[in-house]
Structure 1
Amino acid sequence: MKVDGSSASRKYLKPMARFLYERLPLAPSRRKALKDGVYRVMAPLIKNTQSYRYWQIERRDQATDAALRSRGGERHVALLPQHFDEIFEASSQRSAYYRPIRELPVTTSGFNVIAFYLPQFHAFPENDEWWGRGFTEWTNVSKSVPQFAGHLQPRLPGELGFYDLRVKDVLRRQQQLARLYGIHGFCFHHYWFAGKRLMEAPFNHVLADPSMELSFCLCWANENWTRRWDGAEHDVLISQEHSPEDDLAFIADILPALRDSRYIRIDGAALLIVYRVALLPDPHATAQRWRDYCRQQGVGEIHLIAAQTFGIRDPRDYGFDAAVEFPPHHIEPEEISSDQLVFNALFRGRIFRYADVVRHQRDAVAPDYKLYRCAFPSWDNSARKPGRGHVFHASSPAWFGEWLRNIAEGSRAESSVNAPMIFVNAWNEWGEGAHLEPDRRHGYAYLEALGDVLADHRLQNESPLVSVIIPLYNHARYIGDALASVFAQSYTNIEVIVVDDGSTDDSAAAVRRYGERNPDHPIEIVRKENGGSHTAIAKGVAHANGEFIAFLNSDDCYASSRIGRLLECMLHDGLELTFSGVDFIDEEGRPSAESEHEVVMSLREKLNASLEYPALVYACLDSNVAVSTGNFMLRRRLYDRLGGLAALKLCHDWDFLLRALAIAKVGCVAERLYSYRLHGANTFEQLRDDAISETDVVLGNFFQSLDLEQLQVLFEDHRYFRRFVRQHGYERFLPRNGSLARAWLMQDDEPA
């Protein structure tokens, strides 16, 4: 008999060995020592078994704990008394990324998003026995504490509160929220142990109530349930007993769900996911039993999906039809634990950068088997494993949206007659920090990021209205050229709004004359008293009908492909604001001799140098690489969130750009699609006189507005950021001394 056993040996010998071990008449420490000795002696024979691997993990963890305790008094701990309030307020205060609930539902986009759903948010007898009366997942969630600077714990729920899934109204509201943001269905984790169901109440409510219309499917969590929250073989609370009889009993048990009209199907086949297919003694035989049984029972075909967990890759190795990613399984970017300011001297968790995961997944090569892609909005299981959690740090709605967009882009070629499927892990894994449900800090921001991806995919197949706003002041000579460049656009679904900001020359008449000569070019003219460019733009936005807005200075011009190109990038990349490269023209509209303008030469050098920075935010902090407000194209909602442009004479564009970078995804198209006119009357010539005072205001406001969460998302490498700040003389703008943000930025600092 093989040591790792046949089906029979696994079914009988392992439970028997566990039974005898637990009843040895020895003290726990002696019994543990005996087990360690057996595993060491038997290592050559059992080194490939799961039990041996888990024993190794346990031994490693014990050794780590001992080492940490021995040097705990020497380890640097960042927490200072003045940081207490700042740390614990972060989880309940609204962040800069906070988004309120949307008013209108996301329009169907062509993708079916399925969110994994955890039903362990209600009390039931087994949990009462194993963990204490009244235990639910909220017990772990609510007692979690931050382990390092910027660690967002505890995760506190938003509008749904600490809900109880025995209450049907909670399930109904969850479905309403999911539908509002374009989610197609929930994939319920299904806990079935040799005929015994656990946590079945929520799904039973859904199955029994056809008015809960959201689609659903099941994922069989077919591992043992243990005290370690990781499926380990030791400390088993309730075990699986995989066998041919068990296979048939399981599929018969879920037959009512498979027959339900709401059950999710792929090309007519009912979708069923198995969490750990490798635990099935003979997966091929199990798959065939299930297929035969479903055909016999009139269910038809089933679409079997293996979750990519614990080394599982190709579903064909198990007789399954497809695989689904289950991150963070099979994801392990570079660890950044050593770069953090740790509060807990005994912390032995692992910290990774969320953005690195997104980059890694973006570059993943598609396999030759059917694979459904999956993303998580964030991940942090510290609530379940205090001081030992794995944390994918510095996630943000924008990074989550980028991950989803990468998945969507790769899913478009799917040949199924159904809409391509995207999975999200998860709807409500609060104990693992992976939840789409709204929380107190971010509100509905992650749901909104998902909804934006779906909406933008739809808009890529449409032609959304773009409102072009031209603030006009004493540019009668140039406004005709500006208007002509707008109406020469290859993208034609535009409206043009000219706001005359109290011009004292013939500007308004020049606009009218242009309209008379070009009656097929509709222009809305709005007049107001002179108040500056920022007030003229605000007036134009108030009259705009498009959800995308482009500005244009009344003395500048667009390249003919500009609006179409920028809109394409915004929809494809999920940008809230974008701008292009810039050409400079003279009073007659001819290319300017840049060498004749000292300021222009300096700016061109900065524009070229900006390509060398690791992130756009550095280029924008170096200088206003967008050059002018007229070079902006943005979503109306961003303008509203930021409250418009600041009342600055010269730097309102730079200020708006930096404030946008602090809360949203901003991009730059390198092509020179904007022509900035150089002449004696434009504000560019006033740069030397006005820039210095307004620069301090803009940079001071930017840095002082950032909290630690934003700093860690924007500036991934705090050492690079510190060098950049020193090189540019920006140290005086950094967060105040004594703040946690300052402590994080200046950790392991060395004198310049």
Structure 2
Amino acid sequence: MPLVSVIIPTYNSAKFLSRTIESVLAQTYRNFELIIVDDVSTDDTVSIIRSFAEKDSRISCMVLDANSGGPARPTNKGLAVAKGDFIAFLDHDDEWLPEKLQEQVSFLQSASKDIGAVVCDVDLLTPDGTRRPMHTFPDYPTKESFLTAVLCANFFFMFSDLCMRREALQAVGLLDERYILGVDHDYYIRLAQTCLIGVVHKPLIRYAVHPQNLSRGSLSLTNAIADLELLLDTHAELFARHPRCYRRRMVQLGSALIAVGNMQQARSTLRTAFFLNPWAFDVPFYFLLSLLGKRIHRALKMIKNTVQNHA
């Protein structure tokens, strides 16, 4: 039975971490090592990790010397000591269903070696404990279909559903520590250039949504803008070969710039997107918002999110 290395980066996750760890310990696939790397938490996170590690020799705890500001560095520290034939990742507030590792390891063992990694469908876990379907992946039969999906952001980006062969990890390399929020986008783009990806069409992840989520923090929009600009620069040649995806990302960037009040840069970004497809209606809409101001933009976004949440 191959060894699976499970990596959990943590930061101030005492409220959620116990159930996250327990979801790993409840796996029907038993041959795993659980490597938890803390980014210098200021709450009881480390003591919780150590209490679990004292009871189960498969669990190890590492603490960084200084806070890195994001999940990339602690994840890389875990990868550096991982011994598994397969590597799986889990965010500190998400949960796995008991069959998650078994399903994904079995998939990779029976799949062609061209398939270097596998994801699975995702359920949403709300603060009141309610579960509902969140994302269902299509199949990606070719590298190009996978690459186009991640470049265009037609992909549900998260690490908690990813399991990969060690050979795929060696080909892709470690996470880029320059990113705060967008490290998953960068990593999946790099992964898509090295291998095919498989899909287990079962919801084996519970994705947690709560006010403390990193992706919903007060600085998230500023960080997201910086990360998206870095992504577009890092993968400029790829985006040049995929202008539809480049345009989509530029519209995302323009919208985010409006939300933080950077109207001049937003209009410049949106002009670039407009000339890539002058017939689309989204760019004129956002361009108008850039003239009206960020308060109206935020109000419209709030209305849109409210409608989506109650759909």
**TM-score, normalising length: structure 1:** 0.30
- 1:496 touches 1:522 (CA, 8 Å); kept in 2? yes
Q: Which residue of 1 aligns with 2:184?
A: 653
- 2:137 touches 2:201 (CA, 8 Å); kept in 1? no
Q: Which residue of 1 aligns with 2:164?
A: 634
Q: Which residue of 2 aligns with 1:678?
A: 209
Q: Secondary structure at the match of 1:489?
A: coil
Q: Which residue of 1 aligns with 2:59?
A: 523
- Distance verdict in 2 for CA 1:729–1:683, change over 3 Å: closer
- 2:24 touches 2:96 (CA, 8 Å); kept in 1? yes
**Cα distance between partner residues in 1 of 2:141 and 2:226:** 26
Q: Which residue of 2 aligns with 1:534?
A: 72
Q: Secondary structure at the match of 1:681?
A: coil
Q: Which residue of 2 aligns with 1:466?
A: 4
Aligned residue runs from structure 1 range 206-217, under 5 A: none
**Cα distance between partner residues in 1 of 2:81 and 2:141:** 38
Q: Which residue of 1 aligns with 2:237?
A: 704
Q: How far did 1:496 drift?
A: 0.9
Equivalent residue letter for 2:5: S
- 1:471 touches 1:536 (CA, 8 Å); kept in 2? yes
Q: Which residue of 1 aligns with 2:119?
A: 579
**Cα distance between partner residues in 1 of 2:93 and 2:137:** 27
Q: Secondary structure at the match of 2:79?
A: helix
Q: How far did 1:620 drift?
A: 2.0
Equivalent residue letter for 1:526: M
- Distance verdict in 2 for CA 1:498–1:751, change over 3 Å: closer
Q: Which residue of 2 aligns with 1:668?
A: 199
Q: How far did 1:485 drift?
A: 0.6
**Cα distance between partner residues in 1 of 2:141 and 2:216:** 28
Q: How far did 1:617 drift?
A: 2.7
Equivalent residue letter for 1:694: D
**Cα distance between partner residues in 2 of 1:699 and 1:499:** 29
- 1:576 touches 1:664 (CA, 8 Å); kept in 2? yes
Q: Which residue of 1 aligns with 2:14?
A: 476
Q: How far did 1:690 drift?
A: 3.0
Q: Secondary structure at the match of 1:691?
A: helix
Tell me the number of residue pairs that the alignment of Structure 1 and Structure 2 aligns: 246
- Distance verdict in 2 for CA 1:730–1:500, change over 3 Å: closer
Q: Which residue of 2 aligns with 1:500?
A: 38
Q: How far did 1:500 drift?
A: 1.6
**Cα distance between partner residues in 1 of 2:6 and 2:154:** 22
Offset from partner CA, 1:460-479 (integer Å, 9 cap, x none): xxx11001111111111111
- 2:118 touches 2:197 (CA, 8 Å); kept in 1? yes
**Cα distance between partner residues in 2 of 1:672 and 1:525:** 28
Offset from partner CA, 1:54-98 (integer Å, 9 cap, x none): xxxxxxxxxxxxxxxxxxxxxxxxxxxxxxxxxxxxxxxxxxxxx
Q: How far did 1:665 drift?
A: 1.8
Offset from partner CA, 1:154-186 (integer Å, 9 cap, x none): xxxxxxxxxxxxxxxxxxxxxxxxxxxxxxxxx
Q: How far did 1:642 drift?
A: 2.7
Say which structure is richer in helix.
2
Offset from partner CA, 1:327-377 (integer Å, 9 cap, x none): xxxxxxxxxxxxxxxxxxxxxxxxxxxxxxxxxxxxxxxxxxxxxxxxxxx
Q: Which residue of 1 aligns with 2:47?
A: 509
Q: How far did 1:667 drift?
A: 2.4
- 1:578 touches 1:667 (CA, 8 Å); kept in 2? yes
**Cα distance between partner residues in 1 of 2:60 and 2:49:** 10
Q: Which residue of 2 aligns with 1:622?
A: 152
Q: Secondary structure at the match of 2:202?
A: strand
**Cα distance between partner residues in 2 of 1:726 and 1:502:** 36
Q: Which residue of 2 aligns with 1:728?
A: 248
Considering only aligned residues, what root-mean-square deviation do their CA atoms show, in Å?
3.2
**Cα distance between partner residues in 1 of 2:140 and 2:164:** 25
- 1:551 touches 1:632 (CA, 8 Å); kept in 2? yes
**Cα distance between partner residues in 2 of 1:626 and 1:578:** 13
Q: How far did 1:559 drift?
A: 1.0
Q: Secondary structure at the match of 1:663?
A: coil
- Distance verdict in 2 for CA 1:521–1:676, change over 3 Å: farther
Q: Which residue of 2 aligns with 1:566?
A: 104
**Cα distance between partner residues in 2 of 1:584 and 1:694:** 25
Q: Secondary structure at the match of 1:679?
A: coil
- 2:9 touches 2:71 (CA, 8 Å); kept in 1? yes
Offset from partner CA, 1:185-213 (integer Å, 9 cap, x none): xxxxxxxxxxxxxxxxxxxxxxxxxxxxx
Q: How far did 1:589 drift?
A: 4.0
- Distance verdict in 2 for CA 1:663–1:564, change over 3 Å: same
Q: How far did 1:729 drift?
A: 6.2
- Distance verdict in 2 for CA 1:670–1:514, change over 3 Å: same
**Cα distance between partner residues in 2 of 1:521 and 1:588:** 33
Q: How far did 1:656 drift?
A: 0.2
Higher mean C-alpha deviation, range 464-473 or range 616-625? 616-625
Q: How far did 1:679 drift?
A: 1.2
Q: Which residue of 2 aligns with 1:217?
A: none
Q: How far did 1:702 drift?
A: 2.7
Q: How far did 1:611 drift?
A: 6.7
Q: How far did 1:494 drift?
A: 0.6
- 2:122 touches 2:204 (CA, 8 Å); kept in 1? yes
Equivalent residue letter for 2:146: L
Q: How far did 1:588 drift?
A: 5.2
Q: Which residue of 2 aligns with 1:691?
A: 224
- 2:34 touches 2:59 (CA, 8 Å); kept in 1? yes
Q: How far did 1:540 drift?
A: 0.6
Aligned residue runs from structure 1 range 269-348, under 5 A: none
**Cα distance between partner residues in 1 of 2:246 and 2:79:** 39
Q: How far did 1:706 drift?
A: 8.3
Q: How far did 1:492 drift?
A: 1.0
Offset from partner CA, 1:613-656 (integer Å, 9 cap, x none): 98233332232634322322122333333331112000101100
- Distance verdict in 2 for CA 1:668–1:626, change over 3 Å: farther
- Distance verdict in 2 for CA 1:617–1:668, change over 3 Å: farther
**Cα distance between partner residues in 1 of 2:225 and 2:107:** 34
**Cα distance between partner residues in 1 of 2:30 and 2:136:** 32
- 1:550 touches 1:633 (CA, 8 Å); kept in 2? yes
**Cα distance between partner residues in 2 of 1:556 and 1:525:** 18
**Cα distance between partner residues in 1 of 2:10 and 2:137:** 32
- 2:172 touches 2:194 (CA, 8 Å); kept in 1? no
Q: Which residue of 2 aligns with 1:175?
A: none
Q: Secondary structure at the match of 1:625?
A: coil
- Distance verdict in 2 for CA 1:693–1:514, change over 3 Å: same
- Distance verdict in 2 for CA 1:699–1:667, change over 3 Å: farther
Equivalent residue letter for 2:164: L
Give unmatched runs, 5+ long, in structure 2: 252-276, 280-311
- Distance verdict in 2 for CA 1:751–1:469, change over 3 Å: closer
Equivalent residue letter for 1:643: G
